[in-house]
């Protein structure tokens, strides 16, 4: 008995779905327009809405980078970055005549502000942890706290449960 030959299946073309751009335009800052806004600010000390929005977009956009997205104090990081960027603007730290992109300059400022906030929060966490450890040790040595002692026998229903002091 001969085996039937399989019929070839026609190739099916699967159309790739277009992936929508989520948030790309939301945090986009045009470097040339930002440079013009900074030039205008340096001339008349009038901070335009575009300049403020651009600084905010840079800080918020950086907060969605994979390195920073999962921190619980992300809003504090954004706030610190915005303060640092506005103080750099106020002190006219960015050199308009240079070929440096203002976007990269202010992103670098925001990046360093984020890193400084992370260091500050880490130091705070370590301080709290050290305090908890010292207080726990102090309570154990002074005997001011009762500690439950689990019986050594696992299946003894009539085991005496005692408190040590």
> CA 46, CA 25: separation in Å to the nearest integer?
26
What are the pLDDT digits (tens) for 13-55?
666 665 455 456 788 999 999 999 999 999 999 999 999 999 9
User: Do 27 and 57 form a contact (C-beta atoms < 8 A)?
Assistant: yes
pLDDT at 110: 97
pLDDT at 38: 96
pLDDT at 156: 56
Flag residues of the chain having pLDDT under 50. Answer: 19, 22
Helix 31-44 × helix 102-142 angle, to 10° = 90
- This model's pTM is above 0.75: no
pLDDT at 157: 57
pLDDT at 140: 79
pLDDT at 43: 94
């Amino acid at each position: 008995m001969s085996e039937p030959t399989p019929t070839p299946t026609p190739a099916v073309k699967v159309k790739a779905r277009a992936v929508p751009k989520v948030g790309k335009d939301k945090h986009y800052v045009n470097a040339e327009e930002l440079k013009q806004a900074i030039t205008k600010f340096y001339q008349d000390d009038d901070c335009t809405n575009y300049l403020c929005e651009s600084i905010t977009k840079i800080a918020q956009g950086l907060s969605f980078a994979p390195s920073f997205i999962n921190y619980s104090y992300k809003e504090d990081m954004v706030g610190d970055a915005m303060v640092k960027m506005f103080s750099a603007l106020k002190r006219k730290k960015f050199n308009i005549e240079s070929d440096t992109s203002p976007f990269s300059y202010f992103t670098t400022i925001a990046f360093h502000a984020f890193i400084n906030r992370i260091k500050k929060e880490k130091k705070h966490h370590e301080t709290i942890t050290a305090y908890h450890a010292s207080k726990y040790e102090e309570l154990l040595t002074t005997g001011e706290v009762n500690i439950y002692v689990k019986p050594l026998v696992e299946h003894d229903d009539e085991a005496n449960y005692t408190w040590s002091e």
